[in-house]
Amino acid sequence: MADCIFCKIANGEIPSTKVYEDEHVLAFRDIHPLAPKHVVIIPKRHVQNLNEIDQLTEAEQLALLHACKKTAALAGIEVSGYRIASNCGPDADQSVQHLHFHVLGGGKLSVNMA
Protein backbone atom coordinates (compact mmCIF):
# COMPACT_ATOMS: atom_id res chain seq x y z
CA MET A 1 0.00 0.00 0.00
CA ALA A 2 1.59 3.24 -1.20
CA ASP A 3 0.70 5.46 1.75
CA CYS A 4 0.91 2.91 4.56
CA ILE A 5 3.59 3.74 7.14
CA PHE A 6 4.06 0.09 8.17
CA CYS A 7 4.46 -1.00 4.53
CA LYS A 8 7.17 1.68 4.25
CA ILE A 9 8.87 0.29 7.37
CA ALA A 10 8.58 -3.26 5.98
CA ASN A 11 10.30 -2.32 2.73
CA GLY A 12 12.94 -0.12 4.35
CA GLU A 13 11.69 3.29 3.14
CA ILE A 14 11.22 4.40 6.76
CA PRO A 15 13.78 3.39 9.39
CA SER A 16 12.86 1.27 12.39
CA THR A 17 14.69 -0.44 15.23
CA LYS A 18 14.36 -4.07 14.24
CA VAL A 19 13.90 -6.68 16.96
CA TYR A 20 13.07 -9.73 14.81
CA GLU A 21 12.54 -10.52 11.16
CA ASP A 22 11.79 -13.53 9.01
CA GLU A 23 10.49 -14.06 5.52
CA HIS A 24 6.91 -13.10 6.46
CA VAL A 25 7.05 -10.73 9.43
CA LEU A 26 8.95 -7.83 10.94
CA ALA A 27 9.09 -6.79 14.61
CA PHE A 28 10.36 -3.34 15.56
CA ARG A 29 10.37 -1.04 18.58
CA ASP A 30 7.28 1.16 18.96
CA ILE A 31 8.15 4.83 18.45
CA HIS A 32 5.94 5.87 21.42
CA PRO A 33 6.41 3.05 23.94
CA LEU A 34 3.61 2.42 26.41
CA ALA A 35 5.71 0.03 28.49
CA PRO A 36 9.44 -0.41 29.23
CA LYS A 37 9.49 -2.96 26.39
CA HIS A 38 7.09 -2.23 23.53
CA VAL A 39 7.52 -3.93 20.16
CA VAL A 40 5.19 -3.96 17.15
CA ILE A 41 4.90 -7.07 14.98
CA ILE A 42 3.59 -6.76 11.43
CA PRO A 43 3.09 -9.04 8.45
CA LYS A 44 5.23 -7.80 5.56
CA ARG A 45 2.20 -8.04 3.29
CA HIS A 46 -0.49 -5.44 3.84
CA VAL A 47 -3.82 -6.36 5.39
CA GLN A 48 -5.81 -3.83 7.40
CA ASN A 49 -6.38 -5.70 10.64
CA LEU A 50 -7.42 -9.04 12.13
CA ASN A 51 -10.68 -8.96 10.15
CA GLU A 52 -8.58 -9.55 7.02
CA ILE A 53 -6.23 -12.19 8.39
CA ASP A 54 -7.69 -14.80 6.01
CA GLN A 55 -6.05 -12.84 3.18
CA LEU A 56 -2.68 -13.95 4.55
CA THR A 57 -1.40 -17.46 3.87
CA GLU A 58 -1.37 -19.97 6.70
CA ALA A 59 2.44 -19.68 6.74
CA GLU A 60 2.16 -15.91 7.22
CA GLN A 61 -0.44 -16.33 9.97
CA LEU A 62 1.72 -18.88 11.79
CA ALA A 63 4.77 -16.65 11.41
CA LEU A 64 2.91 -13.86 13.21
CA LEU A 65 2.04 -16.13 16.12
CA HIS A 66 5.57 -17.48 16.42
CA ALA A 67 7.00 -13.96 16.13
CA CYS A 68 5.10 -13.02 19.32
CA LYS A 69 6.96 -15.68 21.28
CA LYS A 70 10.32 -15.01 19.61
CA THR A 71 10.02 -11.26 20.13
CA ALA A 72 9.22 -11.73 23.82
CA ALA A 73 12.30 -13.94 24.18
CA LEU A 74 14.54 -11.49 22.30
CA ALA A 75 13.22 -8.62 24.45
CA GLY A 76 14.05 -10.66 27.56
CA ILE A 77 10.49 -10.67 28.88
CA GLU A 78 9.38 -14.24 28.22
CA VAL A 79 9.71 -15.20 31.91
CA SER A 80 8.72 -11.91 33.58
CA GLY A 81 5.61 -11.71 31.40
CA TYR A 82 4.11 -9.76 28.55
CA ARG A 83 0.87 -8.84 26.81
CA ILE A 84 -0.04 -9.22 23.15
CA ALA A 85 -2.66 -6.74 21.91
CA SER A 86 -4.10 -5.90 18.51
CA ASN A 87 -6.38 -2.90 18.08
CA CYS A 88 -8.97 -3.59 15.39
CA GLY A 89 -11.20 -0.82 14.06
CA PRO A 90 -12.50 2.54 15.31
CA ASP A 91 -13.77 1.56 18.77
CA ALA A 92 -10.33 0.14 19.55
CA ASP A 93 -8.63 3.33 18.28
CA GLN A 94 -6.63 1.47 15.63
CA SER A 95 -4.41 4.30 14.37
CA VAL A 96 -2.30 2.48 11.76
CA GLN A 97 -4.39 0.59 9.22
CA HIS A 98 -1.92 -2.29 8.76
CA LEU A 99 -2.38 -5.39 10.94
CA HIS A 100 -0.04 -5.30 13.93
CA PHE A 101 0.40 -6.90 17.31
CA HIS A 102 1.74 -4.94 20.26
CA VAL A 103 4.13 -6.83 22.55
CA LEU A 104 4.25 -5.08 25.92
CA GLY A 105 6.31 -5.95 28.96
CA GLY A 106 9.31 -5.11 31.09
CA GLY A 107 7.26 -4.05 34.11
CA LYS A 108 3.83 -4.40 35.69
CA LEU A 109 1.25 -3.61 33.00
CA SER A 110 -1.87 -1.54 33.61
CA VAL A 111 -5.15 -2.86 32.19
CA ASN A 112 -5.57 -0.11 29.58
CA MET A 113 -2.13 -0.35 27.97
CA ALA A 114 -2.28 -0.52 24.17
> Which residue, 16 or 71, is less far from ligand AMP as judged by CB?
16
Q: How far is the CB of 69 from ligand AMP (least distance, A)?
A: 20
In DSSP terms, 21 is beta-bridged to 26
Task: Count CB neighbours of 50 within 10 A.
Answer: 16
5 binds ligand AMP (CB under 6 A): yes
* 3-state SS string for 66-106: HHHHHHHHHCCCCCCCEEEECCCCHHHCCCCCCCCEEEEEC
Can you tell me which of 95, 108, 111, 112 binds ligand AMP, judged by CB under 6 A? 95
If the CB atoms of residues 58 and 104 are measured against ligand AMP, the closer one turns out to be: 104
Where do contacts with ligand AMP occur on this chain (CB under 6 A)? 5, 14, 16, 28, 30-32, 40, 87, 93-96
